[in-house]
Structure 1
Amino acid sequence: MAKKDQESPGGLPEGVAIAWGLRERPGRGPARGLDVRRIVTAAIAVADAEGLGAVSMSRVATQIGVSTMALYRYVSGKDDLLTLMEDEAVGLPVPGPDPAEGWRAGMEHWARSYADVMARHRWMVRIPISTPPLSPHSVMWMEQALGYLRHTGLDGEEKLGVLITLNGYVRSHSSLVADIAEAGWDSEAEPEKAELRYWQLLSELTRTGDFPAIRELLGSGEVQDTNDETGTAEFDFGLAVILDGVAALVARRQNRS
């Protein structure tokens, strides 16, 4: 928890204020070359290699080779460190298609780019969402998405709803992928074998009993196709369904005007 003399302007969470550069930089301490960026980079390296549960102020200090107390000159605690890690990991939004190409191309690019970030840093889905987007990179991603929706005819609440829905879909899908990986179902070497094993187990469990819809699904043979080694087919389908729904809403709003 931040000390009272470190409270941020306007009641911003301390980590957010640091990310925006609104907190005064501490003077030079005993650890030469130490700064917020170096601390955050080290913390991300730990999380990428060992998972979010391994991240602590003491573990990050060990990673850098300084005392734990040295970190507190720059970051007031783990909660603020997580805020800074997430902002650094998400980074700047990836440049997308020109808005003139249409909102759908832009929002599809936005969702896929965000999913790519989550795939690179699976631990991000383990950070609880405590506030709406406030850190600088998150706000930039928000700006990019809203920019693509500017001329759709949707009102402000509807644009925000589209953004929240897509954000939630990407996070939910990324969380599921992370859960499967951590549970040991997904081997980096042969993920398709883990999926095939799942369908085999489900088939055995539902061979008898009141599961006619599941047996029909399995009988089609379509869900057991393991040619999609990248695992993107399910994501693509869900994204298309959401964007189709948004397209229908946009069409209604434009016809109304």
Structure 2
Amino acid sequence: MADENISDELARLWRLRAGARLGRPAGLDVDRVVRTAIDLADLGGLPAVTLPKIAAALGVTPMSLYRHIGSKDELNVLMADLALGPFPDIPGVVPGDWRPALSHWARAQLAVHRRHPWLAQLPIVGPPRGPHAIAWMDVGLRTLRETALDWPAKIGVITVVGGYVRQAFLTGRQLEVHRGAADLNESQALRGYQRELSAVVDETRFPDVAALLASGLFESIPDTAEPGDEDFDFGLDLILDGVAGVIAG
């Protein structure tokens, strides 16, 4: 007898069999549909993921996909969970040393977003539900196991860190796209930014921004400089410093 708490959507997300089927195995299943959708998204972004395109890639009719994904919204959830994949091992982390473990957890999420840039564009529809998302949540909580934080605080920490990773990636990605469209590298874009704002920023009205623009910071960046992880590292360290203060308190 099926568990009444398990919806069809949750059963598909966890790949639970609804019941034994007689005859030959189906040629199409949830994994094939979702992996095809992910391949399309990796190549062309979310706009490339349409039911007709998925069906064409699989050699089936669009209507046949609904047996395996339920709806386009459900497909987004399935794609997000499968794209996360299993959590990578945390190398060289001493048990109980929460900071390097949590830092690795954040950087592992950043690596996933870089492999699947469309992932951060999917809407957040609720707390983690899929097997991979739950696995990542479990590891995030585990990094804080030896601290004195209670459950609400632990959930708060991993939510803030995960949200930072997502937003930092989105911001960096948008800047990359903008620079690419203008055919500029990072240093050229920043120098152009400095020149434009210097022409309109009044030091009486915006004294600290004016001082920043006059500091020579943007001109000092060499043309050969490539976007790095310095900004991401700085933001992550700020958040982890805050976590450390809460733990110490």
2:231 alignment partner in structure 1? 234
TM-score by length of 2: 0.85
Deviation string for 1:108-162 (max 9, x for gaps)?
0000110111122121122111110111101000110111101111111111111
What does 1:210-221 align with in structure 2 at a 5 Å threshold? Answer: 210-221=205-216
The offset of 1:212, in angstroms, is 1.6
What does 1:3-152 align with in structure 2 at a 5 Å threshold? Answer: 9-10=4-5, 12=7, 14=9, 16-24=10-18, 33-97=27-91, 98-100=93-95, 102-152=97-147
Q: Is the 8 A contact 1:26 1:73 kept in 2?
A: no
Distance 1:89 1:196, change over 3 A: farther
The offset of 1:168, in angstroms, is 1.0
Residue 68 of structure 2 aligns to a residue whose secondary structure is coil
Q: Is the 8 A contact 1:26 1:74 kept in 2?
A: no
Q: Is the 8 A contact 1:104 1:243 kept in 2?
A: yes
Following the alignment from structure 2 to structure 1, what is the Cα–Cα distance between the partners of residues 182 and 15? 39
The offset of 1:180, in angstroms, is 3.0
Show structure 1 runs of 4+ deviating over 4 A: 25-32, 187-190
Following the alignment from structure 2 to structure 1, what is the Cα–Cα distance between the partners of residues 211 and 43? 41
Which letter does structure 2 place at the counterpart of 1:130?
V
Q: Is the 8 A contact 1:217 1:223 kept in 2?
A: no
Deviation string for 1:205-256 (max 9, x for gaps)?
326662221121122233553565133111111000000111111112xxxx
The offset of 1:65, in angstroms, is 2.6
- The gaps in structure 2 that reach 5 residues or longer are none
Q: 2:168 aligns with which of 170, 173, 182?
A: 173
Alignment of 1:164 with 2:168, yes or no, is no
The offset of 1:70, in angstroms, is 2.2
Q: What is the number of equivalent residue pairs in this alignment?
A: 244
Q: Is the 8 A contact 1:93 1:140 kept in 2?
A: yes
Following the alignment from structure 1 to structure 2, what is the Cα–Cα distance between the partners of residues 109 and 139? 17
